[in-house]
Amino acid sequence: MPAVGLPHFLTIGAILFSLGLFAIITRRNAVMLLMGIELILNAANVNLVAFSRYSTAGTSLMMTGQIASLFVIVLAACEAAVALAIVLNIYKRFSTINVDEVDMLRD
Amino acid sequence: MYDFLFYTFALITVLPAFVVVFARNIAHSAFSLMFTLFGVAGLYVMLGADFVGVSQLLIYVGGILVLFLFGMMLTANIDQLREEQPPMARQLGAVFVGAAMLAMLTMAVWGIPAWRNATPRMLPNDAQTTSTIGTLFMGDFALLFIASSIAILVALVGAAMIARADGFSSEDASTRM
C-alpha cells in the first residue's frame, strides 16, 4: 500500500458509516441508537474534511469542507439535545426506552 | 511518520467503534465512543484541520458524550443495563446491509483514479486555519453562521421545554405562545 492518501481517510469514513448503520438497525436502547447516528455524522465529517484537504479546485475552496464539518458538528449537538429530551419523555411515559416496546402508534 | 500516526489514529477510531456497536454493556459503549471521537479529532489534525479537531473535542466529547451519559443515567432500568441480543434475523440483515454498504463505499473510494492519486494541498508552515475560518464565518458564510445560531437557540429552548420536570403536553406549547 503506498503512502497514505485520500482513499485511506475515506475508507475510515466508510467503516464508521457502516458500523453506525449496523448500530441503528440492531440496537434497541434508544441512547445506543443515537450513538449510531453520531457515528454516521462523524463518518460524514471525516469525508468532508478529507476532501477539503485533498481537493485541487483552487485555494479559495480550501476551507469549505472544514466549515461544512463545523456546521455538521453544531447541528449534531442540537439534534442530540432534542433527541435526548424526547428519550427522557418516552422514559417518563413508558418506563422503558426499548424502541421495540414503544409501539403505541403501530397498529 | 505521517503514515504511522495515521494508522495509530485510525486504530484508535475504528476499534472502539466496533466496541460501541457490539458491546453488551451500554456503559462500555459510551466510553468507547469517547475513544472513537478522540481518534476522529486526531484524524482531523492530521488533515490540517486543527480548529475542527479542537472543536470536535469540545463539542462532541465535552458536550454530546456527556449528554449521552446523562441520558443513560436518567433512563436506566437495572435490568436494562445489559442489552440482550436482537433476533437473529435482524442481526443477519444488519450485517448484510452494513457489509454491502462498506463494500460499495470502499469500491467507490478506491476505484476513482482522481481520488486515488489525489495529492494533499501543501499548507504553508504558518497556515492560520482559525483566523481564516473566522473571516469566512463573518464574510462568505455569515448567513449560515447566523442561521445555525438560530438553530441552536431553537434546539436549546425546545429541548429544555420537552424535558421539563413537570411534564410537557401539546396544550402547554400552544397556550404559552
State the pTM of this model.
0.90
Distance from CA of B175 to the nearest CA of A (A): 20
CA atoms within 13 A on the CB side of B49: 32
Sign of CA dihedral A22, A28, A32, A37: positive
Distance from CA of B89 to the nearest CA of A (A): 10
* Stretch 61-90 of chain A: residues touching chain B, C-beta under 8 Å: 62-63, 66-67, 69-71, 73-82, 84-89
CB neighbours of residue B170 within 10 Å: 7
* Stretch 83-142 of chain B: residues touching chain A, C-beta under 8 Å: 83, 86, 90-91, 93-95, 97-99, 101-102, 105-106, 109-110, 115-121, 129, 132-133, 136-137, 141
Residue with cell 432534542: A82
Does residue A53 register a pLDDT over 60?
Answer: yes
Q: List the domains of chain A with CATH numbers.
A: 6-94 (1.10.287.3510)
- Helix, strand, coil abundance in chain B, percent, nearest 5: 75, 0, 25
pLDDT band at B25 (very low <50, low <70, confident <90, very high): confident
Task: Write down the pLDDT at residue A63.
Answer: 83
> For B135-165, how does the pLDDT look when each residue is reduced to its tens digit (9 = 90+)?
999 998 999 999 999 999 999 999 999 888 7
Mean pLDDT calculated for residue range B37-57: 94
> For B65-87, how does the pLDDT look when each residue is reduced to its tens digit (9 = 90+)?
999 999 999 888 765 556 667 78
Does residue B172 register a pLDDT over 80?
Answer: no
